[in-house]
């Protein structure tokens, strides 16, 4: 099946620094990718929809200036957590779906665990 890969798998940073997480579709092109955040013992929360070549669409309550999304190519989307604080510590997961209408499965990356000290 299609593969979505994230890097890094885990990252620890100091409060106030910025962290970039990459999401790549390894064997298909994705004009759209989705970013989720998951806190311990909770479900995935959709943060934003990343669109290749245009601005991302953010869900209500997600600060676009804090969570910068760049989808510069058909296989790469990046999420940058700017000026990270301990409350941003979470598991960040990206996903993408090959092709267009009627193609079914949404593939998820392995996730990236961010810990802000």
Binding residues for another protein (CB under 8 A): 1, 4, 6, 30-32, 34, 36, 43-46, 49, 51, 91, 93, 95, 97-111, 113
**Residue written as token pair 């604080």:** 85
Taking a C-beta distance cutoff of 8 angstroms, is the pair 19, 81 a contact? Answer: yes
For residue 5, the minimal CB distance to another protein (Å) is 10
Q: Which is nearer to another protein, 13 or 44 (CB)?
A: 44
Q: Which is nearer to another protein, 82 or 91 (CB)?
A: 91
Taking a C-beta distance cutoff of 8 angstroms, is the pair 51, 57 a contact? Answer: yes
Q: Which is nearer to another protein, 75 or 95 (CB)?
A: 95
């Amino acid at each position: 099946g299609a593969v979505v890969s994230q890097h890094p798998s885990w990252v620890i940073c100091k409060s106030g620094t910025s962290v970039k997480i990459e999401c790549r579709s390894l064997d298909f092109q994705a004009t759209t990718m989705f970013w989720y955040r998951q806190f311990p013992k909770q479900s995935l929360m959709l943060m934003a929809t990343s669109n290749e070549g245009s601005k991302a669409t953010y869900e209500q309550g997600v600060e676009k200036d804090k969570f910068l999304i760049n989808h510069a190519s058909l296989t790469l989307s990046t999420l940058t957590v700017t000026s990270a604080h301990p409350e941003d510590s979470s598991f960040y997961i990206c996903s993408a779906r090959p092709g267009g209408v009627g193609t079914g499965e949404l593939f998820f990356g392995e996730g990236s665990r961010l810990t802000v000290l």
